[in-house]
Copies of this chain bind each other. A is one copy, B any other.
C-alpha cells in the first residue's frame, strides 16, 4: 500500500504529500487533536500560512488524509485480491492467499507501530463531522464488500459446515486485522497481525472444506 511517488508531482502537490505523510505518522502515534499544525510545518519546513494555503482548516487535513488513505487501500486491496484470484483456481485458496497478503500489507505503515488510520479516527470520532464519519465507514465498507463477494463465490461451490451469515464472516476478516493491530500496539510485538490472520485462515479452511 504505497504512496504515489513524488517525482511527477508539482511543487505544491509535493508539499501537500509531505504534510499528509507527516500528519499520518503523528496521528497514528498520538491522535488527531494532539497533532499540531505547528509541528507539521516545522518538519515540512514551511510557514503556517503555507499550511493554510493547502488546507483551509485543520479538519480539511483530516479529510484529505482519509481520502488519500481510502484510495491507497482500495488500490492495494484490489491488486492484492486480483493477484490472488489469478494465482489460484480454487476460490477458497484465492481468498486465503489474499487475506494473508492483506495482513502483511497492513503492518507496513509509515509509523514504527502499525495502525489503521480509519480505526484511529474512529476512536476520536467525537471530534469530527458527518463527512469524516462517512469516509471512515467507506474505508471499512470497501474492504468488507471485496471479501464478502469472495465468500459468496466460495459458499456457492462448497456449502459451509454450518449455516453462517456471510456479512458477519466478512466482518470477521476486517475485525481480525483491527483487533490484531490493537494487540500489536499494546504488546509492542510485530508478529501479531500475521499470527492472527493465520488463525482466521485456518478457521476458514476448516469451515468450508467440511
Contact = CB atoms under 8 A, between A and B. Distances in A.
A105 interface: no
A195 B176 contact: no
Contact of A168 (B113, B125, B126, B196): B196
Contacts of A30: 33, 124-127
B174 A34 contact: no
Contacts of A32: 31, 34
A203 B168 CA distance: 14
Contact of A122 (B118, B126, B186): B186
Interface residues of A, number: 51
B122 A202 contact: no
A169 interface: yes
A175 to B, nearest CB: 3
Nearest to A189: B171
Contacts of A172: 196, 199
Interface stretch (A10-18, A86-94, A150-158, A177-185): A177-185
A127 to B, nearest CB: 5
Nearest to A174: B183
Residue of A180, A186, A206 most packed against chain B (CB within 10 A): A186
Given A31-B31, A33-B30, A122 B179 contact: no
Given A119-B182, A178-B178, 20 more contacts: A30-B124, A30-B127, A31-B127, A115-B123, A116-B182, A122-B186, A123-B124, A123-B182, A136-B186, A137-B186, A137-B187, A140-B187, A162-B202, A171-B195, A172-B196, A176-B179, A178-B182, A178-B183, A179-B180, A206-B207
Interface of A: 26, 28-34, 113, 115-116, 118-120, 122-127, 136-137, 140, 161-162, 164-165, 168-169, 171-172, 174-180, 182-183, 185-187, 192, 195-196, 199, 202-203, 206-207
